[in-house]
Amino acid sequence: MRNTLIQWEDKEQTRQSKIALLSDLKHLNQLTTLDIQIPNVSYLPKNLFFDKLYSYKIVIGDLRSFVETDFKMPEKYETLKFLAVQLENGSDIHSLKGIKMLFEEVEILFLELNSVHEKHNSVHEAHNIVHDLFYRLNLKGFPYLKHLWIVNNSTIQSLIHPKDRQHPEKAFPKLESLCLYNLKMNEICSCKLSEPSFGKLKVIKINLCGELKNVFSISVVRLLIVLETIEVSECNSLKEIIDVGPQSNPEEPLALPELCYLKLQSLSEFIGFDAIPPIEGEERKLFHEKVCLKLSS
């Protein structure tokens, strides 16, 4: 039901009638696969049936951001759980219980939250700052998620920033790629993670994240045993890729054993791959001697 002749924008059609149109789908009690595009999250019925689907490609919103990034919409008819959501300014993800249920088993997730293409009220924006996107969306740690895109947002401060949690967290055990585009996020993860968190991450791409100071903490680096690609561009506050921190062992090497592609572009404050200070009298190098990479010269 993507690119269909449904007249979503018919002015004579009320919002309630549009909700009713989708509600009728729940009467198809043997429906297992759905491919649909819904232009506005407000058209969703309260009692969604999507959580019973075996396979789905659900697009909610006017996602022109697909064009801005190098994201490719999956087009093959294959068993897949794909969700792309655009939430308008002021939308409360907690009120969208049907969508949150999809987060538990989703495999590919594209999120555009509080689009920065629109003008913001600074007071309203400050009220909606999100310090921990991970726990706002899914307390189970996205156990099946393989690919995550987060784009065009000015309120997300951190991907994982739990409060008052003493034990290491488990997050994104199957995640293979993470792409962050046009965000004001100032950190990706600020807590200790345990295996298998990020254990399958192969690709991370970051573009236009002007508040980000670094990409990984030392505790996260130890989990990145299969990371192959790092791309970071146009992040004006980024100083290093790895934040070593005061608690690290100065003799322990920083190993990214499978890293074979590194792209660093337009980083005006960048000082080096890691935050380890150079030996007195020596110039700072891009890579410190204790950084172990697979990169060829």
264: pLDDT strictly greater than 90: yes
Which tens digits make up the pLDDT trace of 61-96? 877 777 778 788 777 777 899 999 887 655 666 566
Q: Which residues contact 246 (CB under 8 A, 6 or more apart)?
A: none
> How far is Cα 282 from Cα 296, in angstroms, rounded to an integer?
24
d(CA 51, CA 104): 9
The Cα–Cα gap between 50 and 101 comes to 9
Per-domain residue ranges of the chain? 1-173, 202-277+286-297
Cross-strand bridge partners of residue 180:
150, 206
| Helix (H), strand (E) at residue 209 | strand 203-209
Over range 182-206, report the average pLDDT: 89
**Eight-state DSSP code of residue 168:** P
Q: Which has more confidence, 257 or 70? A: 257
CB-based contact 238:213 (threshold 8 Å): yes
pLDDT for the residue numbered 126: 41
Q: Are 215 and 230 in contact (CB under 8 A)?
A: yes
Identify the pLDDT of residue 127: 40
- Name the token pair of 264: 């660093």
Tokens in use for 213?
């100071």
Instruction: Name the residue among 124, 105, 104, 100 with its Cα closest to residue 114.
Output: 124
Residue-wise pLDDT for 150-175, tens only, equals: 998 887 888 887 665 666 678 899 99
pLDDT of residue 161: 72
pLDDT of amino acid 204: 97
pLDDT at 46 over 90: no
Whole-number mean pLDDT of the chain?
78
Dist CA 93 CA 100 (whole Å): 8
Judge whether residue 125 has pLDDT over 60. no
Running DSSP on this structure, what letter comes out for residue 167? S
Q: Check residue 272 and give its pLDDT.
A: 85
The answer to whether 39 touches 15, Cβ cutoff 8 Å, is: no
